[in-house]
Amino acid sequence: MSRKGTSSFIIQRASAVLLIPLAIWLLINIVAHIGADYASARAWLEAPFNGLLLGAFLIIGAWHMRIGMMEIIADYIYSSLKGALLFINWLVALGVIAAVAWSIYHISFAG
Amino acid sequence: MAEGATSERPLSPHLQIWRFTVTMAASITHRGTGAVIYGGSLLLAVWLYALTFSPSLFEVVSGFVNSPIGFIIIAGYVWALSFHLMNGLRHLYWDSGRGLAPKTAAMTAWLVYTASILLTVFILWSGYAARGAA
């Protein structure tokens, strides 16, 4: 992760700015959908923009989370575990992005 | 560096010699809430995947979310996201070179704690009230 400091700094802030409206939107929708059953949750997700906004929150958030967790690992882990944890951190971010993108493609475009 | 001089020093970030301040607490909480959101968002991604591809998996996830442990997780996620969002605004304001005076930073830290707790109570109250009415 060396020599990526400046780009990580910029991406972390750019993603933060994008996540502000998305997080507000998510908090409002958590209010409206706590404990929703399958049919009503599915109807909500299939409505225009809901899937895209949830997908955008999770995908942009995955990248924001990866950088944040990378900083935490870099600050506290000095052992040989560090490389493995950074690798797992990448896998988690890429896994979330793949699963979310596939879900949103399926529900918003292919479904 | 003289030999032996490095052995007894406290490791950075010197937690054992710092005086407690609200700005330091907010900084630690920003990291902690970030880690909580990391975990909660994984659960949200599983919820989305199950909702898209597997009604039977959705029942499992939904049952977990609607349990008492699920309530604690939702409450924790809502507060963590509220705090991280508001404190993130504080960070972006700092990045513009403003709001860094100690008194201002302490005041905004208290503001973020107070507002995030109020927002969380409001969200959970209105969410569960609407659910009860449905």
Q: For residue range A51-63, what is the model confidence (pLDDT) as tens digits?
A: 999 999 999 999 9
Residue that wins the pLDDT comparison between A34 and A27:
A27
Task: Give which of A53, A59, A66, A96 to mutate to test B binding, by max B Cβ within 10 Å.
Answer: A96
Question: Which range (A2-11, A35-44, A48-57, B49-58) has the least confidence?
Answer: A2-11
pLDDT of residue B14: 63
Structural contact between residues A68 and A92, judged by C-beta atoms closer than 8 angstroms: no
Q: What is the mean pLDDT of chain A?
A: 92
Give the integer Cα–Cα distance in Å for B120 and B128: 12
The answer to whether the Cβ–Cβ distance between A42 and B51 falls below 8 Å is yes
Q: Which residues of chain B are within 8 Å of residue A72 when distances are taken between CB atoms? A: 31, 34-35
Provide the shortest C-alpha distance from residue A5 to chain B (in Å).
16
Evaluated on CA atoms A9, A12, A16, A18, the torsion sign reads positive
Is domain B29-133 classified as CATH 1.20.1300.10?
A: yes
pLDDT of residue A93: 97
Topology of the domain comprising A5-110: 3 helical TM bundles of succinate and fumarate reductases (1.20.1300)
Give the integer Cα–Cα distance in Å for B126 and A68: 31
Structural contact between residues B30 and B38, judged by C-beta atoms closer than 8 angstroms: no
Q: Average the pLDDT over A65-86 and give the result.
A: 93
Minimal Cβ distance to B123: which of A31, A69, A102: A31
Instruction: Tell me, yes or no, if A39 comes closer than 8 A to chain B by beta carbon.
Output: no
Instruction: Tell me, yes or no, if B115 comes closer than 8 A to chain A by beta carbon.
Output: no
Minimal Cβ distance to A27: which of B34, B81, B128: B81
Evaluated on CA atoms B39, B41, B45, B51, the torsion sign reads positive
How far are the Cα atoms of A30, A37, A46, A103, B39 from residue B35, in angstroms, in the given order?
Answer: 19, 28, 30, 24, 7
Give the integer Cα–Cα distance in Å for B35 and B83: 12
Q: For residue range A79-94, what is the model confidence (pLDDT) as tens digits?
A: 889 999 999 999 999 9
Q: Average the pLDDT over A68-81 and give the result.
A: 91
Q: Is A11 helix (H, G, I), strand (E, B) or coil?
A: helix
Residue that wins the pLDDT comparison between B129 and A97:
A97
| Longest pairwise C-alpha distance within chain A | 48
Task: Give which of B33, B36, B38 to mutate to test A binding, by max A Cβ within 10 Å.
Answer: B38
Kindly indicate the confidence band of residue B12, based on its pLDDT and cuts at 50, 70 and 90: low
pLDDT of residue A109: 86
Question: What is the phi/psi pair of residue A25, to 5°?
Answer: -60, -45
Give the integer Cα–Cα distance in Å for A84 and A82: 6
A24-60 burial by CB neighbour count: b if 16+ within 10 A, else e? Answer: ebbbebbbebbbbeeeebbebbeeeebbebbbbbbbb
Instruction: Tell me, yes or no, if A110 comes closer than 8 A to chain B by beta carbon.
Output: no
pLDDT of residue A108: 87
Burial class of residue A7 (count of CB atoms within 10 Å of its CB; 0-12, 13-18, 19+):
exposed
Q: Give the ipTM.
A: 0.92
pLDDT of residue B11: 62
The answer to whether the Cβ–Cβ distance between B34 and A72 falls below 8 Å is yes
Give the distance, in angstroms, between the CA of residue B108 and the centroid of all CA atoms in the same chain.
16
The answer to whether the Cβ–Cβ distance between A65 and B37 falls below 8 Å is yes
Structural contact between residues A99 and A14, judged by C-beta atoms closer than 8 angstroms: no
Q: What is the mean pLDDT of chain B?
A: 89
Minimal Cβ distance to B81: which of A23, A58, A68: A23
Structural contact between residues A76 and B13, judged by C-beta atoms closer than 8 angstroms: no
Question: Which range (A50-54, B7-11, B21-25) has the least confidence?
Answer: B7-11
